[in-house]
Amino acid sequence: MTTAPVSAVILAAGEGSRMRSTRPKPLHMLCGRPMLLYVLDALSEVPLERVVVVVGHGAERVTKKVQELADPRIEFVEQRVQRGTGDALSVALTIFPDADPDDGDDLLVLPGDTPLLQPSTISALVALHQDADAAATVLSAELADPTGYGRVVRGREGRVARIVEERDASPEEAAITEVNTSIYCFRRSLLAPALRRLTPDNAQGEYYLTDVIGVLADAGYRVGSMVAPNPVETNGVNDRRQLATAEAVLRARTNARLLAEGVTMVDPTRTYVDTTVTIGADVTLFPGTLLQGRTVIGEGAEIGPDVHLVDTVVGPGARVQHTVARDAEVGADASVGPYAVLSPGDEVPDGAVTGPFYTAQRETHRD
C-alpha cells in the first residue's frame, strides 16, 4: 500500500489525572485488555519499520505490561519531564537516525488514549498522505459539539493553516466544528526542524505538537487533512465516563463479530464478552453472561443466564447456568448449576451433572 517507509510513535506519557487512579492511564482496562494495546492494534494494516511508545508517568509499569502482551519489537523511550506533546515527540525522535531529506520516510503519530481507532482509517490516512506528497496530514473529525478539542483552522483554498487549542481560540475559531484528533502522518525529515521552532507561549506553558502544523504551513509546505469516516473512533479517553463509553463501543463490536461467527446471543445488550475470550460456533449465550480473561467456550455449549466465568474452559455441548467460576474447567456435555461456584483448579468431568448449589468437595488434611 505504501510507497515510502513508515514508522509510528505513540504518545503515552501523560499522567491522566482525570482518571483519579494510581494506575497509569495507558493501562486502564477495556474489555479485558489495556487501553494502549487497542491503539497498537490500529496500526495493523500499515507495514511499519519501527513502533516507538513514549512513556512517562508509570513508565516502568507501562513498558513491562506492553512487552508482556504485545509485539516484543516495540521500542520505548521515556519523557522524564512532562512538557507537552511536542516535547514528547522530540524525545521519541532521539532514537531515530537523522532523516535524509531525500529519503521520504514518514512517521505516524498517535495518542495512547484513542482505543476505538480502526486499522482501515489509519491505513487510509497514510495512503492519502503519501499520494499527496504532503509534509503533514491531519486526521480530523466533524463534531456537532467540538467542546474540549483543538480546532482545525483553514486558510486559502481550504488548506489547513494551523490548529488552535480551545483554551487559546478566539470566539470565531471556537465556533469551528472540524476538530483535531491528535493523529498525524508527517514527513520525518521536516519534523525535527519544525519541532525545534516550537515555543511554550500558550495557556498551558507547554510545547504543543499541534503548533507543528502551523510551522509547516507557514513555511509553504503542503499540509493535508482527512476527515475520519466515523468520529466515534477518534474519541479519546480522559476520564472514567469516557472509559465506560469506549467499553460499550468495544463490547458492541465484539458481540457483532461473535454473532457473525455463529454465536447466538439471546440479548446482546446484556451479554458481556472480553476481547480475550474464545467462543466456538453454535454457542448460545443467555442474558446476564459475563465472560472474562482467557475463558474458552466449546462448540454448542449453552451459557447463562447469569453466569460469570473468568479464565475458565467449558467443553463442547456443556450447559452452565447461574454459575460463578474462576480458573476452572467444565467437561464436554456436563451440566453445571444453577447456583454453582467453581474455584481455581476445580474440574467438572465430561457428562457430569452437578445439580443446584454445587461447590467442589476438597480434601482436608490434618497434621
| Co-location of 51 and 118 in the same domain | yes
Catalytic residue numbers, as ranges: 18
In a domain, 256, yes or no: no
pLDDT at position 362 is 57
Angle subtended at Cα 321 by Cα 319 and Cα 323, rounded to the nearest 5 degrees: 120
Which residues make Cβ contacts (< 8 Å) with residue 241, sequence separation at least 6?
none
Cis peptide before 305 (omega within 30 of 0): yes
Q: Which amino acid is at 110?
A: L
What single DSSP character describes residue 263?
-
**pTM of the entire predicted model:** 0.93
**Statement to judge: residues 226 and 266 lie in one domain:** no
Identify whether residues 170 and 267 lie together within a single domain: no
Q: Is residue 190 part of a domain?
A: yes
Are 77 and 28 contained in the same domain? yes
Q: How far apart are CA 195 and CA 169, in angstroms?
A: 21
User: Domain limits at 16?
Assistant: 6-234
Q: What is the pLDDT of residues 307-331, one digit of tens each?
A: 999 999 999 999 999 999 999 999 9
Categorize the per-residue pLDDT at 367 as very low, low, confident or very high, splitting at 50, 70 and 90: very low
Q: Is residue 364's pLDDT more than 70? A: no
> What is the overall mean pLDDT for the chain?
94
Going by C-alpha positions, the residue among 151, 136, 152 that lies closest to residue 190 is: 136
Do both 223 and 283 map to the same domain? no
On whether both 82 and 223 belong to a single domain, the answer is yes
217, 97: one domain = yes
**CATH code of the domain containing 315:** 2.160.10.10
Handedness of CA 202, 206, 207, 212 (dihedral sign): negative
127 burial class (0-12, 13-18, 19+ CB within 10 angstroms)?
middle
Q: Alpha helices, DSSP H only, in the chain?
A: 35-41, 59-69, 85-93, 119-131, 171-174, 188-196, 211-218, 240-260
58 three-state secondary structure:
strand
> Which whole number is the average pLDDT over 230-242?
96
> Residues 104, 223: one domain?
yes
Beta-ladder partners of 163: 152
- Which pLDDT tens digit goes with each residue over 265-290? 999 999 999 999 999 999 999 999 99
List phi, psi (to 5°) of 325: -145, 145
* 152 close to 136: Cβ distance less than 8 angstroms: no
Residue with cell 526542524: 193
Q: Are residues 78 and 183 in the same domain?
A: yes
Determine the longest span between alpha carbons in the chain, in angstroms. Answer: 87
Residues 97 and 191 in one domain: yes
Residue 93, SS3 per DSSP: helix
**85 and 185 together in one domain:** yes
Q: In what order do the strands lie in the sheet with 302-303?
A: 264-265, 284-285, 302-303, 319-320, 335-336
Indicate left, alpha or beta for 20 from its phi (over 0: left) and psi (-120 to 50: alpha): left
Tens-place pLDDT, residues 331-360: 999 999 999 999 999 999 999 999 999 998
CA 71 to CA 43: how far, in whole Å? 12
Distance of CA 59 to the CA centre of its chain: 18
CATH number at residue 11: 3.90.550.10
- Looking at the fold, whether 217 and 295 belong to one and the same domain comes out as no
- Of residues 230, 229, 81, 236, the one with CA closest to residue 150: 236
In whole angstroms, give the CA distance from residue 174 to residue 153: 10
Total of domains in the chain: 2
**Residue 139 domain-assigned (yes or no):** yes
**pLDDT (tens digit per residue) in 200-225:** 887 788 899 999 999 999 999 999 99
Q: How many Å apart are CA 273 and CA 293, to the nearest integer?
A: 9
Tens digits of residue pLDDT in 164-201: 989 889 999 999 999 999 999 999 999 999 999 999 88
